[in-house]
Structure 1
Amino acid sequence: MLYRSRLIAKWVPTDGDCTSVSSTQSSNEALCYRVGVPTKSKWFCDIYMNRTSKIKIFLTPGDPPISSETASFIARKGSTSLAAKAAAAAAASTVSNENIFDQLRRTREKLTCAVVGNSANLLNSRCGPVIDQNDVVIRMNAAATKGYEKDVGSRTTFQSLYQRIEKEYKKPNKVLLVSVHTKELRWAARAAGNLHLTPSDVYLVHPAFVRAVTMEVLGEKKATITSGALLLTLAVHLCNEVNVFGFGRNEKGLYSHYDREIAPERALKIVSFHPLKEEEEYRNKLVEGGIIRVYKGKTNSSSLCE
């Protein structure tokens, strides 16, 4: 079976720890329910109840045209009509299969999801067994697992992809596609054929959801948020428990990947292109609100996966 029903238990490794940072909030009455989970964070409940929970997460056939605001967001400085046509074509390329997260939630007491980034802080973390205990494992882009199993685990349910790395798709993973501009939506419409997958194995994140999450993270600032921030938020809306690994800096305070070197000039480009500071503040708020649990891995202040 690809999916296994397991509840995350406290796990004590033999040579290296994998402990987490979670909320210390008081036991006040719940302000809202996120995927059936009582939630006490006023900040999150305002976002969830008033905005993001009302937006479709995945594109499916028969969806109404995207709004003019979403079309403008996707088009950036280009044509909004072309953006709308690209979204319609992408929706038509999917199938109306039931959301797999809904299917899984019906068969277990709670659905646990791991969102695994590529940060080098996973090296020597010994987080692999903790990651693999989750029912669903979402991995970013083309990060390797072979040879890194003790730190990053071996199971993958979903792999996020974008056009430039489509050749790095690893079977038999299901695919999550996050499109932040018109060109990516056009590619998303062809992705199933390009990857030799059935449409039911390809999930297209709705542009309206991408826009909503971007606005919550950035406010009025103009920047392109990472797929990690988007998929972390997607998991929050679909999973009862969300465990986050491999986000943030390494032990030297730099942004780097556990499975490949990043040249200093490339790291600087990433920092300037993506709003990493705002994304870190957003993650911290989710932790403080008891929405997610973050495993920090090896940093300059700790050798634990915490």
Structure 2
Amino acid sequence: MYPESAKNLAANVSFVLVPFKTLDLLWITSALSTGQIRFTYAPVKQFLRVDKDKAQIFNPAFFKYIHDRWTRHHGRYPSTGMLVLFFALHVCDEVNVFGFGADSRGNWHHYWEQNRYSGEFRKTGVHDADYEALIIDSLVKAGKITIFPGK
């Protein structure tokens, strides 16, 4: 999760913070203790109810590794999906991916978007969806992942 989208979780659910800025790290400390931080670039939960023993932080050095070695600086930084895919490749014996990537028309969709073609994903330049699609295809062809695409 990100601070701006964080939700309270049941005791049996793990919490993984994906920090994109230093303030995100300060926020998690605050949200699990004093509640001092209430705003980053948007309002955030003052307090977070999660099992502290199941709270983890996605290491920013891993972001850099993916950006340097895999996406090779295409886009400003890798998409969260790309980060999670490579995390899974590093910690799992088998990786099956469901509903991820471009649809049959080449459009990428975020689960929260209602727009038909998801053109905003490409327009921002934050992520290079086309380059990430090439990486995913190469992983499929190499037998490293099995992908079950969406519609």
Class of the TM-score when normalised by the shorter of the 2 chains: 0.7 to 0.9
> Residues 178-208 of structure 1, C-alpha deviation per residue, up to 9 Å, x if partnerless?
2233233333434545321232211111121
Is 1:269 the counterpart of 2:109? The answer is no
| Distance (Å, rounded) in 2 between the aligned partners of 1:183 and 1:163 | 9
Contact 2:2 2:18 in 1 (8 A): yes
What is the aligned counterpart of 1:254 among 103, 107, 115? 107
Structure 2 unmatched ranges of 5 or more: 34-46
How do 1:61-210 and structure 2 match up within 5 A? 161-167=1-7, 169-171=8-10, 172-193=12-33, 194-210=47-63
**Which consecutive unaligned segments of at least 5 residues does structure 1 have?**
1-160, 299-306
Greater C-alpha radius of gyration: 1
- Closer/same/farther in 2, CA of residues 278 and 251 from structure 1, 3 Å limit: closer
How far has the Cα of 1:251 moved from its partner?
4.2
Whether the 8 Å contact between 2:121 and 2:127 is mirrored in structure 1 is yes
Residues in 1 aligned to 2:31 and 2:134: alpha-carbon distance in whole angstroms:
33
Q: Which of 269, 273, 288 is 2:141 aligned to?
A: 288
Does the CA contact (< 8 Å) of 1:249 and 1:256 recur in 2?
Answer: yes
User: More relative contact order in 1 or in 2 (CA 8 Å, sep 6+)?
Assistant: 1
**Paired residues, what number?**
135
Q: Decide whether aligned partners of structure 1 residues 254 and 186 sit closer, same or farther in structure 2, where only a CA change above 3 A counts.
A: same
Mapped partners of 2:32, 2:145: distance in 1: 31
> Over aligned residue pairs, what C-alpha RMSD do you find?
2.5
Give, in whole Å, the separation in 2 of the partners of 1:243 and 1:182.
Answer: 32
Quick check: 1:162–1:178 contact (8 Å CA) kept in 2? yes
1:28-73 deviation digits (Å, cap 9, x = unpaired): xxxxxxxxxxxxxxxxxxxxxxxxxxxxxxxxxxxxxxxxxxxxxx
> Residue deviations 1:137-159, cap 9 Å, x none?
xxxxxxxxxxxxxxxxxxxxxxx
Q: Which stretch shifts more, 238-247 or 286-295?
A: 286-295
- Alignment CA distance shift 1:207-1:184 (3 Å): same
- How big is the shift at 1:227? 1.4
- Which residue identity lines up with residue 180 of structure 1 in the other structure? F
2:31–2:48 contact (8 Å) kept in structure 1: yes
Residues 187 and 240 of structure 1: CA distance in aligned 2, closer, same or farther (over 3 Å)? same
Q: TM-score, normalised by structure 1?
A: 0.39
Percent identity reads 27
